[in-house]
Amino acid sequence: MGSVQYHAPQSLEEAVPLLKEAQKTPSRILAGGTDLLIQMRAGVKTPDMLIDIKKIPEVTGIEIGPEEIRLGAATPSAVMDESVELHRQLPGVVEGMELIGSTQVQGRATPGGNLCNASPAGDGAPAMIAAGGQCVVFGSNGVRTIPVEEVCIAPGRTSLADDEFIQEFRFPTPKPGQADAYLRFIPRNEMDIAVVGVAANITVDASGTCTAAKVTLGAVGPTVVIADKVAELLVGTKLDDATLAKAGEMASGLGTPISDKRGTVEFRHRIAGVLTRRVIQIAATRAGERL
Amino acid sequence: MSKTHVTTTINGDAVEYLCEPDQSMLEVLRDNLELTGTKEGCATGDCGACSVSLDGRLVCSCLVLGVEAEGKQIETIEGIANGSELHPIQQKFLENAALQCGICTPGFIVATKALLAKNPDPTEEEARYFLAGNLCRCTGYDKIIRAVLDAAAEMRGAAS
Ligand SMILES: Cc1cc2nc3c(=O)[nH]c(=O)nc-3n(C[C@H](O)[C@H](O)[C@H](O)COP(=O)(O)OP(=O)(O)OC[C@H]3O[C@@H](n4cnc5c(N)ncnc54)[C@H](O)[C@@H]3O)c2cc1C
Ligand code: FES
Ligand code: FES
């Protein structure tokens, strides 16, 4: 690594002049550093300035309200995993983050960093998108809100400007009968990168009929694939075996996966179908328990 | 590039140091402070040999910057024993011959302490998952896991 300036603003106001500077000086936001520090050491990223956002109160912590759930973008995944209430409300969002890396990595890795690293195989994004997540984006000129799916535009690239970072995520608090889940396939038991990851957010009524659904797939394309057609298929059904089989079949046809050492294109398509079927079932069971 | 002055607490002692902003906490511990018990196996977050506790949370010190330690509490392997008296985890690693070359051992011991603080009575499976980020090239893990479960039993006994 070359020489770099390090700043850790204590408030959003203190961050403003640094973000203005970031329009002129190659800079990076530092959250948990579990992607960035490795990329800097490898010479892949060479910022002249680091803005560590972890000391800004608005950027960490979890608040669960009757209408809305707030998740600070720099909240470590271990903190998410320890929140009993977040597990109860958004188990799928927690699952996406708590299976990242090891205990040590989970002590640092954040949802904002996971999303902004923009890896096609990032585990955090699919469930955050399925849960209807919005990002509050703080910039040197003020704040704007965008859906989570608008952040990643290509592998390693986001739609954020040089003077912006994600301050927090906001999710609508799940209604009775609504729940989510995330499943991924990895060749090992722990510490590996997703071959495919699928999230589902399902709402059922008292008769067990699905009234709303969102299904998203990670690692089958450059960015997360939102499977609207699969969701349409589910709504109005009782999520019976035949429907789930059809949903799985449909999901195996989605995306443009690649072949690599973890799996071939054919394998990824096939696994996408299997995981879709299973994750819908898990989310639906949880949804039924929340009625 | 000018160095940054950092004030922090390591193993209960107030410590001050100067470091480059891009130096990792691991480099600061080993190269600037001569606390060489913490090992480097990969410097990419994969092996856990560099495990330390940062404000009570287990982390890889290779993925933390030295400058980030400002105002924090750090615990390293050097802070585990009580003077010349070994911690029960260290004692059980010795008794179970849970090490060969020893490079992974400080990381395993620091991580085990974090595990047992959170879960004093882990199952073998829970221990293996918690410690999945600590790699060992020598032992094949069985002796390590036995030492961890032995230490847990001993510490529960001492606590009750
Ligand atoms: C051993 C190991 C195993 C891993 N396993 C997995 C895994 O299983 N699944 C997985 O998905 N990932 C995995 N990762 C990758 C990484 O841990 C995650 O992507 C993590 O969530 C990144 O978060 P961070 O806070 O550490 O990001 P950082 O490294 O701090 O930042 C990543 C990028 O995002 C930018 N950034 C960070 N926060 C913000 C923000 N709030 N607003 C705007 N930009 C921001 C940074 O500038 C940087 O470009 C692993 C990493 C390691 C070292
Ligand atoms: S040296 Fe830090 S994890 Fe290997
Ligand atoms: S004893 Fe050699 S790496 Fe574990």
Mean pLDDT to the nearest integer, A8-23: 98
Q: What is the mean pLDDT of residues A123-134?
A: 98
- Is A61 domain-assigned? no
Nearest CA owner, ligand 3 atom 4? B136
Across A40-47, average pLDDT? 96
Side chain identity, residue A10: Q
The DSSP bridge pattern shows strands B4-10 and B13-19 to be antiparallel
Q: Are A63 and A70 in contact (CB under 8 A)?
A: yes
CA distance A47 to chain B (A): 11
Which atom of ligand 3 sits closest to the CA of residue B99? Answer: 1
Of the candidates A124, A156, A172, which is a domain's last residue?
A: A172
How many whole angstroms separate alpha carbon A130 and alpha carbon A239?
Answer: 18
CATH assignment at residue A124: 3.30.465.10
Q: Do A111 and A32 fall into the same domain?
A: no
Q: Give one DSSP letter per residue of A220-268, joined into a string.
A: SSSS-EE-HHHHHHHTTS---HHHHHHHHHHHHT-S----BTTB-HHHH
Residue A239 lies in a domain: yes
> Can you tell me the ipTM of this complex?
0.96
Domain count of chain A? 3
Residue A146 sits in the same domain as residue A101: yes
Q: Strand order in A225-226's β-sheet?
A: A178-185, A196-204, A210-218, A225-226
- Nearest-CA distance from A15 to chain B in Å? 17
Distance CA B23, CA A39 (A): 14
Specify whether the CB–CB gap between A278 and A169 falls below 8 A: no
pLDDT at A288: 97
Do A283 and A202 fall into the same domain? yes
| Structural domain range at position A231 | 178-289
Which residues of chain A have a CB within 8 Å of the CB of B130? 103
Asked if A107 lies within 8 A of B24 by C-beta distance, the reply is no
Ranges of each domain in chain B? 4-79, 88-159
User: Exposed, middle or buried, B154 (CB in 10 Å: 0-12/13-18/19+)?
Assistant: middle
- Residues from chain A contacting residue B115 (CB–CB below 8 Å): 103
Is residue A62 in some structural domain?
Answer: no
Residue A202 vs residues A217, A219, A243, A257: alpha-carbon distances, Å: 15, 21, 14, 25
Whether B62 is in the pocket of ligand 2, judged by its Cβ within 6 Å, is: yes
Q: Which of A146, A172, A198 lies at the terminal end of a domain, its last residue?
A: A172
**Residue A193: predicted pLDDT:** 84
pLDDT at A2 over 60: no
- CA closest to A192 among chain B residues: B46
Q: Which ligand 1 atom lies nearest to the CA of residue A35?
A: 29
**Which residue owns the Cα nearest ligand 1 atom 38?**
A113
pLDDT in tens, A220-232: 999 999 999 999 9
**Is A45 part of a structural domain of the chain?**
yes
Residues A72 and A129 in one domain: yes
- The residue out of A152, A172, A192 marking a domain boundary is A172
B149, B88 contact by CB (below 8 A): no
Name residues 31-60 of chain A within 8 A of B (Cβ).
Answer: 32-34, 37-38, 40-41, 50, 52, 54
- For A:79-118, CB contacts with B below 8 A are 101-105, 107-108
Cβ proximity of A254 and A215 under 8 Å:
no
Residues A114 and A155 placed together within one structural domain of the fold:
yes
Residues A47 and A91 in one domain: no
CATH number at residue A282: 3.30.390.50
* Alpha-carbon dihedral A115, A147, A281, A263, rounded to 10 degrees: -40
Residues of A in contact with B67 (CB under 8 A): 6, 8
Query: In this predicted structure, which of A192-201, A222-231, A273-282, B84-93 has the lowest mean pLDDT?
Result: A192-201
Give the tokens for residue A42.
Answer: 């490898």
pLDDT in the model for residue B1: 56
Residue ranges of chain B with per-residue pLDDT less than 70: 1
Average pLDDT along chain A: 96
Which is the closest atom of ligand 2 to the Cα of B135? 4
C-beta atoms of A104 and B68 within 8 A? no
Beta bridge partner(s), residue A139: A142, A164
Reported confidence tier of residue A1, pLDDT bands at 50, 70, 90: very low
Is the per-residue pLDDT at A67 higher than 90? yes
**At residue A185, does pLDDT exceed 70?**
yes
The CATH code of the domain that includes A30 is: 3.30.43.10
- Asked if residue A224 belongs to a domain, the reply is yes
Q: Do B4-79 and B88-159 share a fold?
A: no
Residue nearest to atom 2 of ligand 1 (CA): A101
Instruction: With a cut of 60, say whether residue A108 has pLDDT above it.
Output: yes
- pLDDT tens-digit profile of A155-169? 999 999 999 999 999
Residue linked to tokens 């394309």: A221
A197 plus A222 within the same structural domain: yes
Best mutation target, B42, B60, B62, B124, to test chain A (most A CBs within 10 A): B60
Task: Please provide the CATH number assigned to the domain covering B88-159.
Answer: 1.10.150.120
Which atom of ligand 2 approaches the CA of B133 most closely?
3
Query: What is the dihedral sign for C-alpha B110, B114, B119, B125?
Result: negative
User: Does the structure show a pLDDT above 70 at A21?
Assistant: yes
A186 and A231 inside one domain: yes
- CATH code for residues B4-79: 3.10.20.30
Claim to verify: residue A285 and residue A188 sit in the same structural domain = yes
* Out of A4, A78, A102, closest to residue B133 by CB: A102
- Domain check: are A37 and A114 in the same one? no
